[in-house]
Structure 1
Amino acid sequence: MFAQRPSSRFLATGAIISIVAFTFLLLGTRRSRDAASRYILKTPSAASQSQSHCELDAHAAVSNGSWEFTAARDGLNHGLSDEQCRMAFPKLFVEVDKSASLKQEARITYQDLNSREVEDGMVRAIIDKGQLYIVEYAPMPVTASRARATLNSLHRALVAYPGRDRLPSIEFIFTTEDFANDPIGKSPVWAYSKRDTDDSVWLMPDFGYWAWPEVQIGPYHEVRRRIAAIDDGETSEDGSYVPGLRFQDKKKQLVWRGSLATNPGIRSKLLKSAQSRSWASVRVIDWDDENDIRFNLLPIEDHCRYMFLAHTEGRSFSGRGKYLLNCRSVVISHPLTWREAHHAALVSSGPDANYIEVDNDFADLPRKVDFLIDNPQIAERIAANAVRTFRDRYLTPAAESCYWRHLVRQYASVLDFEPVLFATSRDGKVAPRGVPFETWLLMN
C-alpha cells in the first residue's frame, strides 16, 4: 500500500553520483570564456512561453481586416505590429526564414557562437527584454561608421516596437565588412549580404538604411525624400509647387558612376559594352582623386533624372542598389550573386517586371537598351513597378524595422540557449557582460 522507504545505503550512493555529476557539469562547462556563467540552456517551457508571446503579437493591431499598407501613411512607421509586417511585406523575410530552417535540426549553441572570434569590424551584442547591449567591439576605422549606423538602426527597430519587452533574448555577432567569411563548420554571423552557399550567414539590413557618409549619402529617409521630389514633385519653402520629372522627359541614357577596383571582372564588361554608345553615361570614379570626385560624382538622387540605371555588384553587394530602386527609372543589372533582404521582390520578366536583367558579360545590353528606348511604354511600366514594389513598400524604413525584429525572432527560434546579461566570475563577483547601447554610443 505504501512505497518502501529507501535505505540509507541507496541514499548515500545517490548523493555521491549527484556530486560527481555536478562536478562534471561545473568543470565541463567552464570553458570557452567561462561559458557556464554566460548562458542558460533553453527548456521546453521557455520555448513555449516565447511562442505564446509571438502568437499574441501576431494577432494584435489588425482587428477588422481592413488595414492595408500605404507608403504615405505607414512608410516611416518603425513600430508596425507583426501581423502588419507580414501583410505589408510578404516577400521580405525569405532569406532569414531560409537561415532558420537550415538550423532546425542542429540548433545554435553557445559554444557555436564562441567559436567565432570577434575580428576587426565585428560586434558581439545581446538583446535582453528589447534592450540592446554591446558585449564586444573590434573597431576598424574604415567601417566604424557602419557599426554605429547598423546598431542605431537595430536599436530604433527595438524601441519603436510597443511589445519590445516580449521580444526573445538573443546573443549574436555581426560584421561590418562587405561580406562574412563562411568556412564550413564556423558559427553564425550576421552580415549585409550573403551567397546561396553561405549557410552560417544571417542576412541583416545594410548600414545605408541609417546613413552612408563616406560617399556623401545622408540619412536614408532624407535621400528618399529627395528622390521622390524628382519623380513626384514637392512643395518648396515659399509654398510653391515644383512638379516632378515625367518619365518620358528623363535623359534617355544609361547612367553609372563607380570604381572598377571593387569588381573589375563585372564592371569592366559594363564599360566595354557601353563604350561609344550615344545612350551611355558611364564613367569611372577615382575615389582617391578629389578633382575626379568633384567632376564625376553624381548625387544619388540625380541618378533618377536618367531613364536607365546600371547596377553592378562590388566586392559583394553594391550599397547603391536600394537607392536606384527608389527611382522611377529602369534598373538594369547583371545576375546577382550576393543576396540582400529585398531581393525576393525582384522580378525581371513579365507584366510585373520591376528591373531588367542582362548577361554577366553585358553582351546583350545594347540590344535591351535599344528595345526600351524604342518601346517607352514598356520602360515606363517597369519603372512604375519599381516604385510601387520598392520605393513604396519593400524599401521603406517601416520594412527595414519589420525585418530587424523578424531576424531577432527567427534567430532566437534556433538558439538552444538564453544569454545571461550578468555573469559571475571565478572570484564570485557579479558584473554586466555588456554595455547599454546608449552608453556605448557616447563612448564610440
Structure 2
Amino acid sequence: MLAQRPSFRVIVTAGAVASLILFTFLLFLGRGPRDISSKYVLKTPYKPVKEKPTKECPSPAPVHNETWQFQTERDALNYGLSEEQCLSAFPKLFLEIDKSVAQRQQHITFAELESRTVEDNQARVIVHKGEVYIVEFGEMTNTASRARATLLALQRALEAVPDRHLLPSIEFFFTASDWPHDPESGPPIFSYTKRDAHNATWLMPDFGYYSWPEASISTYNEARRRMIEIDEGEINADGTRSPGLAFQDKKKQLIWRGNVDTNKEIRGKLLEASQGQSWASVHHFVWGKDEVLPLEDHCRYMFAAQTEGHTYSGRGKYLLNCRMVLVAHSMIWREAHHAAMIASGPEANYVEVGTDYSDLPRKMEFLIDNPEVAQRIADNAVRTFRDRYITPAAEACYWRHLIRKYASVCDFKPSLTQIKDGKKVPRATHLEDWLLLKTMMKTDTQQKKKVENIKTENTKTENTQNKEQT
C-alpha cells in the first residue's frame, strides 16, 4: 500500500510558516538596504493565547521538588525561592556573576579591600549570617536614596529565605553612582552596570528594583502593577480582570522621552532618524521643566526606544513590563537581564538597530505593516522578562547567587569587631540600627534648625519693637 501523501494545504502552510520565520530572522539580523516590496509577503495570522481569569489563590511553590517549574502567577513575587529553584527558573540570569568569578586570577583578600577607601557615592558593607551591616557610608550628595534602596533590597532578599544564616559571610564595596569606580583594575566593587572590560566590577541589581522616588516612580512592585493593568486590565473585587488594552489597539508609535545631552552621539541620532515621522513620539526631555510621562502610559504605545545615557539607562527594565516592542541599539553597558535578550529569529524579544539609527525607519515601517510580527516579539518579551527575568523573585535570586559566588573567591571571613586601644569594639552597624540612627540625626538637625529659626524670628521681633520704642 502506498503511503498517504500530505495534502496540498498542509504543504503550503508548512512552507509559509518556515518562510516567515526565515524572513524575520534575515530582516532583523541584516543591516544593509533591502527591497521594500518584500515586506508585504507571507503574513501569517497570529492568535495569542489568552489565559482565563481565576478566582482561586495559587498554591505555594513546592520546595526541593525535581518536578517544580516556575509559574508567574504563583512565583513572580516570591522573594524566597530556593537555590535550586532560582537556577531552574532563571538559567540566563547569572552570566555576569559567573564571568566575574572566572576573571579573578587570585583570591580576594582583606588586605585588598583595605587598600580601597570609601569615596563619594560608595559604601562598605558586611553580610554576616544573612544580616546586613554598614562598615562605612560615604558622602551621598545625590545618591543617598539609591544606596539605601540597594541596602534594603539586599536585606529583603536575605530575610526571604529561612536558612539565610547558612549563607556565606562577605565584605564588599558598592557604588550608588551610574559609573563603576576603577572598573578595569583594583579591588572589587559592586555596581549597577559594567562593560566587558571592567574586570574589577561585580554586577548587582539596579536600585530601581526597590524604589526610585526622585523620578516620580513608586516601588518596583507598584510600578509593575500599574503597567500590567494597562495591558491585562484591573483586578475586580471578585478576582476577575476587566479587559485590558489589546496590543493591536495601542498607538502605532515609538515612544521615547529623555535628555539628549547625556549621550548626544546616540540619543541625538535617534531624534534625527525619527524627526517628522508619523510613527515617532520621540522628544527631548528636561527634568524639572517638562511634564513627566507616567511609566504606565508608555504601555499605551506599541513600541519604545531604549537608549544608553552616560552609562546604562534604568528605564529599560521598566519598559519591559509593558506588552510592547522594545527597540534598542547595540548596548555596551550590561545589566543582569541582558543575557536573556534575543534580537533575531522566532524567539526574538526585542528589535536591535544600529547606533546611527539609519535602519530605524525601515524596521519601524516593517513592524507597522506586519503587526503579527510585532505582536509576536511583544509577547515573547512578556514571557521572557515581565513574567520571569525582571520579576522580584529573579532580583532576590540574583542577590543570593552574587553572595555565594563572591564568597567563593574570597580567602577571608569578615569580622564585625576590631581591637582598638586594647579593647574589642564594633566595626560595623546593623542596617536597621543604622537607618534608625540616620533618621534620629535628621530629626535632631531639623529640630536644631527649627530652634534657630525661632530664635532668629524672636531677635527680629525684639529689634523691631526696640526701634518702635525709640
Identity rate of aligned residues, in percent?
A: 59
Partner of 1:435: 429
Partner of 1:312: 307
1:141 Cα offset (Å)? 2.3
Distance 1:237 1:72, change over 3 A: same
Q: Distance in 1 between matches of 2:378 and 2:182?
A: 36
1:261 Cα offset (Å)? 1.8
Q: After the TM superposition, which parts of structure 1 deviate over 6 Å for at least 4 consecutive aligned residues?
A: 237-240
Letter in 2 for 1:71: T
1:182 Cα offset (Å)? 2.4
Partner of 2:90: 89
Letter in 1 for 2:189: V
SS for the counterpart of 2:413 is strand
Partner of 1:167: 167
Q: Distance in 1 between matches of 2:275 and 2:433?
A: 52
Partner of 2:245: 245
For residues 370-421 of structure 1, give each alpha carbon's deviation from its aligned partner in whole angstroms, at most 9, with x where no partner exists. 0000110000000000000000000000000000000001000001111111
Residues matched between the structures, number: 378
Partner of 1:284: 284
Give structure 1 stretches of 5+ with no counterpart.
1-59
Give structure 2 stretches of 5+ with no counterpart.
1-60, 439-470
SS for the counterpart of 1:242 is coil
Partner of 1:208: 208
Letter in 2 for 1:304: C
Q: Distance in 1 between matches of 2:402 and 2:269?
A: 36
Q: Distance in 2 between matches of 1:114 and 1:288?
A: 41
1:284 Cα offset (Å)? 1.1
Q: Root-mean-square deviation (CA), in Å?
A: 1.5
1:443 Cα offset (Å)? 2.5
User: Aligned runs of 1:294-373 on 2, under 5 Å?
Assistant: 294=291, 297-373=292-368
User: Aligned runs of 1:174-213 on 2, under 5 Å?
Assistant: 174-182=174-182, 184-213=184-213
Distance 1:63 1:176, change over 3 A: closer
Partner of 2:131: 131
- Contact 1:92/1:394 (8 A) holds in 2: yes
Q: Greater CA deviation, 173-182 or 270-279? A: 173-182
For residues 128-155 of structure 1, give each alpha carbon's deviation from its aligned partner in whole angstroms, at most 9, with x where no partner exists. 1111100000131211110110000000
SS for the counterpart of 2:373 is helix
1:185 Cα offset (Å)? 3.5
1:181 Cα offset (Å)? 2.6
Letter in 2 for 1:152: L
- Contact 2:185/2:198 (8 A) holds in 1: no
- Contact 1:61/1:83 (8 A) holds in 2: no
Q: Distance in 1 between matches of 2:368 and 2:183?
A: 45
Distance 1:440 1:298, change over 3 A: same
SS for the counterpart of 1:278 is coil
SS for the counterpart of 2:218 is coil
Partner of 2:144: 144
For residues 265-294 of structure 1, give each alpha carbon's deviation from its aligned partner in whole angstroms, at most 9, with x where no partner exists. 1100000000000010011111142xx2x2
SS for the counterpart of 1:416 is coil
Q: Distance in 2 between matches of 1:79 and 1:181?
A: 31
Q: Distance in 1 between matches of 2:184 and 2:150?
A: 26
1:413 correspondence with 2:403: no
Q: Distance in 1 between matches of 2:340 and 2:71?
A: 17
Letter in 2 for 1:276: G
Letter in 2 for 1:90: P
SS for the counterpart of 1:198 is coil
1:111 Cα offset (Å)? 1.6
Distance 1:252 1:108, change over 3 A: same
Letter in 1 for 2:334: R
Q: Distance in 2 between matches of 1:146 and 1:235?
A: 31
Q: TM-score, normalised by structure 2?
A: 0.78
Q: Distance in 2 between matches of 1:63 and 1:212?
A: 35
Partner of 1:380: 375
- Contact 1:61/1:81 (8 A) holds in 2: no
